[in-house]
Amino acid sequence: MNYLERANEKLKSLKDKQGLVVLAIESSCDETACAVTRDRVVLANVIASQIEIHKRFGGVVPEIASRNHTLAIDNVVRQALSDAKMTFDDIDCIAVTYGAGLLGALLVGVSYAKALAYALDKPLIAVNHIKGHVAANYLAKPDLEPPFVCLIASGGHTAVTYVKSLTEIEILGSTQDDACGEAFDKVARVLGLPYPGGPQVQKLAEQGKPVIEMPTPLKDKHTYDFSYSGIKTAVINYVHNKEQKGEEYSPADLACSFQEKATDIMVNNAIACAVDKGVKTLVIAGGVGSNQVLRAKMKTRAEEKGIEVFYPPLGLCTDNAAMIASHAYNMIRCGCEASDISLDAKANVKITD
Ligand code: KG4
Ligand code: ZN
């Protein structure tokens, strides 16, 4: 038997194993991360963030990200094993994010995971990053069961989805232009706030009031799609207008008004989908999902309609490897195939892949 045949044989025996141990690697953007999970319990979740390195450029520089992943990855993996009080022998399989993300950054994780899986002769599981974000919810709530509606709000994606099973996701609506996280980051930049913008906008908004009018995108359309370029442009135009006229304005009010509108759009869409689908559970996934206003608003408004809302703790909303391990666990339980050593990284991957 060759490596792949052996890996698939092992996966079959792991399908129903109690205490399945997954080591997962994530390197799609500017976090080098490794986690170890046993079933849906996180034993180690190590994240080496490059935020400080990229801050001075106002965003992630792909080349620099790849180089720093290369420098960090070995230590991060060894730290995760040590935190989990395990050795490589205790690991049942290796999971890795193969896409979507920055190609050079992904390649570091994929190459490392392939080498590890081959050297240890253990199955390799290729995980879709966005499905990983959704799967973070199973770590927060191990008895969570599909079907449910999931709002996915990350730096690159904004979509409302119907999670049919542990591995199948149907898109009900998605953004027609910018992702919500992207809009938060651009608004932060025009307000002179450092990268990454989302948490900074949230912090500034705490001191403001939602008194500046923002446009309502796709107002007269019957759709679950999103559009963020209109409100992003409204913020940029507002700032430029005030600057040109030499007028004072309140950045806190502007941040707050933007955040109110941005979160309203997500909450309204997600709840309408949950009502239409007749599901009683709504979950949130992705970095923007750590926004406190979004979380609170979603909970209050959904509960008025008898819908329960769950979201992962903050550290599992933004990029991490535990969520990748969680989706790999779901894939194995559903009888997935192992990946071969020819596995390649992909910059673009659909939510449904
Ligand atoms: O999911 P994520 O960590 O990475 C991607 O897969 O894209 O999402 C990153 C995005 C960034 O745009 C960041 O500004 C945004 O999530 N974000 C937030 C908050 N924390 C992170 N946006 C709004 N409020 C937050 N508290
Ligand atoms: Zn992400």
Interatomic CA distance for residues 251 and 192, integer angstroms: 10
Q: How many residues are there in the chain?
A: 353
pLDDT of residue 166: 97
**Cβ pair 37, 322 in contact under 8 A:** yes
Task: Give the residue, by CA position, lying nearest to ligand 1 atom 7.
Answer: 155
Domains in the chain, start-ordered, CATH in brackets? 3-135+318-333 (3.30.420.40), 145-312 (3.30.420.40)
Predicted model pTM: 0.96
Interatomic CA distance for residues 26 and 320, integer angstroms: 7
Please report the atom of ligand 1 found closest to the CA of residue 180. 12
Please list, in sequence order, all residues whose beta carbon lies within 8 angstroms of the beta carbon of residue 143, skipping any fewer than 6 positions away: none
pLDDT of residue 284: 98
Question: Which alpha helices (DSSP H) does the chain contain, by range?
Answer: 3-14, 51-55, 62-83, 103-120, 129-140, 180-190, 197-205, 229-245, 251-277, 292-304, 314-317, 322-333
Interatomic CA distance for residues 299 and 309, integer angstroms: 6
Pocket test of ligand 1: the residue of 26, 154, 319 to mutate, having most ligand atoms within 8 Å of its CB, is: 154
**Cβ pair 347, 103 in contact under 8 A:** yes
Please list, in sequence order, all residues whose beta carbon lies within 8 angstroms of the beta carbon of residue 58, skipping any fewer than 6 positions away: 189, 194, 195
DSSP 8-state symbol, 22? E
* pLDDT tens by residue, the chain, 353 residues: 999 999 999 999 999 999 999 999 999 999 999 999 999 999 999 999 998 999 888 889 999 999 999 999 999 999 999 999 999 999 999 999 999 999 999 999 999 999 999 999 999 999 999 999 999 999 999 999 999 999 999 998 999 999 999 999 999 999 999 999 999 999 999 999 998 899 999 999 999 999 999 999 988 778 999 999 999 999 999 999 999 999 999 999 999 999 999 999 999 999 999 999 999 999 999 999 999 999 999 999 999 999 999 999 999 999 999 999 999 999 999 999 999 999 999 999 999 99
Interatomic CA distance for residues 60 and 206, integer angstroms: 26
pLDDT of residue 222: 83
Residues with CB under 6 A from ligand 1: 29, 133, 154-156, 181, 184-185, 196-199, 202, 286-288, 290-291, 318-319
Interatomic CA distance for residues 83 and 81, integer angstroms: 5
Please give the distance, rounded to the nearest whole angstrom, from the Cα atom of residue 196 to the centre of ligand 1: 7
Instruction: Collapse the DSSP code of 248 into the 3-class scheme (helix H, G, I; strand E, B; otherwise coil) and give the result.
Output: coil
Task: Give the residue, by CA position, lying nearest to ligand 1 atom 13.
Answer: 198
pLDDT of residue 56: 87
Question: Tokens for 181?
Answer: 């996280």
Interatomic CA distance for residues 59 and 47, integer angstroms: 18
At residue 287, what is the residue type? Answer: G
Ligand 2 ion: residues within 5 Å (CB):
154, 319
